[in-house]
Amino acid sequence: MAKILDVYLHRELVGHLIQNDGGQMVFDYAENWLHRPDATPLSYSLPLRHKRFTRKECRGYFAGVLPEESKREIIARNLGISERNDYAMLERIGGECAGAVTFVLTGEALPTVDDHYRALSAPELAGILRELPRRPLLAGETGIRLSLAGAQDKIAVRVEGDAISLPLGGAPSTHILKPAVERFAGVVFNEAYCMRLAAAVGLPVAKTEIRRAEDVEYLLVERYDRTHRQGPEGTTLERLHQEDFCQALGIVSENKYQKEGGPSLKQCFALLREVSSAPVLDLARLLDAVIFNFLIGNNDAHGKNFSLLYRGEVTESSGAGTANLETRLAPLYDLVSTRYYPELTRDLAMKIGGEYSSDKVSKANFEQLAEDAGLAKPLVRRRVPELANSILSNLRSTEIEHTVTEALAEQIHTRCNVFLR
């Protein structure tokens, strides 16, 4: 028997995700949504249309909402569902997701007010962070319906000053907590340093802060897809819609690396040129992100590490926030120098000018990237040394006191100087 999830964008019913009698996941836009003059698609890969989307057409977006790799496997085991059943997993954990999408069993009402939270003491938070490797996203705990893409341990929370709370049901979060990873020493400090260094050289990035709960260090990342909006009844926390580049291109998460069929930089630049409301600015920002990732040694910058952010004006006639829609490259996130860990690959997630090996990328490869991406070669030729010099100027003023960041700064210093020579 077919099963149906109602799919909401903000608080508007936009479609139905169906597991048909053959167990296949398909998607239909709601007729009422299609007839609205301000209707927008859920994804660039799911344009508004009356015809049903097949599993192959819609899985890139919907499965892209879910966690990946071992985290997905553990969640499936904890919930007693098949690891490969995207529909069942969205049914169980699709309450508070990236962007402004929410999944509710058909026939059940969307909660009228998303303001249910459970305050956490420091010991409770530390306990949750220690538990995450065995219970990713706290899946299965009563009242918790959180989904975040990625293969790293993380949890979505609401932060008000020093107070941290867990969102219950479909309540929105404000931050993502990423605890230390035993396998990669100091990764919290590594990411915090790279994020702050990016901000120092002028790249738009998500705001981060290092905190500790008892003996557990974690990175607190402010969500760029959440905003506080002032209304007649006071300040409310609202979702902004977003999707990563794999979702926008209809590519499933397990194929996120270019070698496995994932996006190339050429496709990423083409996507931005097609959808951005300010393509000149966003193409320059994406170029800066590619150069910065290369110079700090972030070889894991794949298609799910770049996103589109959709900002709309919420009006009385447009509860879904689709009036005056603006599409922009989202602030950068997940900036980590993977090169710092010698056991990780030196190959890039996306080729630069036809070259995968980060050790072999040269000026000629960046010129080829310019040609592939439709950018002016003099711009790219000039921008690489500009960013390298800017990084060198800001390495020591970006202060995070830790042995990892001291060694990392030295490694980035050497890498920039070698490439400049």
What are 359's two structure tokens? Answer: 């050790």
Q: Looking at the predicted structure, is the pLDDT value of residue 3 above 90?
A: yes
For the sheet containing 12-19, what is the strand order? Answer: 25-29, 12-19, 3-9, 101-105
Q: Write out pLDDT tens, residues 9-40.
A: 988 999 999 999 888 999 999 999 999 998 99
- pLDDT-derived band at 114, boundaries 50, 70, 90: low
φ, ψ dihedrals at 290, nearest 5°: -65, -45
Q: Write out pLDDT tens, residues 60-111.
A: 999 999 998 888 999 999 999 998 999 999 999 988 899 999 999 998 888 7
- pLDDT-derived band at 155, boundaries 50, 70, 90: very high
Catalytic hit among 114, 225, 300, 334: 300
Q: Cβ-count burial of 34 within 10 angstroms (0-12 exposed, 13-18 middle, 19+ buried)? A: middle
What pLDDT is recorded for position 324?
64
For the chain, percent of residues with pLDDT exceeding 70: 96
> What is d(CA 147, CA 89) in angstroms, rounded to the nearest whole number?
9
Of 234 and 168, the one with more pLDDT = 168
Contact 350, 268 (CB under 8 A): yes
What pLDDT is recorded for position 115?
74
Q: Looking at the predicted structure, is the pLDDT value of residue 113 above 70?
A: no
What pLDDT is recorded for position 36?
94
- Mean pLDDT score, 367-378: 96
- Mean pLDDT score, 369-394: 96
Q: Looking at the predicted structure, is the pLDDT value of residue 321 above 50?
A: no
In this structure, the number of other CB atoms found within 10 A of the CB of residue 185 comes to: 14
DSSP 336-369: --GGGSTTS--EEEEEETTEEETTT--HHHHHHH
Q: Looking at the predicted structure, is the pLDDT value of residue 420 above 50?
A: yes
**What is the three-class DSSP state of 140?**
coil
What pLDDT is recorded for position 90?
94
- pLDDT-derived band at 317, boundaries 50, 70, 90: very low
Q: Looking at the predicted structure, is the pLDDT value of residue 230 above 80?
A: no
| Active site (annotated) includes residue 300 | yes
Q: What is the mean pLDDT of the chain?
A: 92
Of 358 and 171, the one with more pLDDT = 358
What pLDDT is recorded for position 316?
44
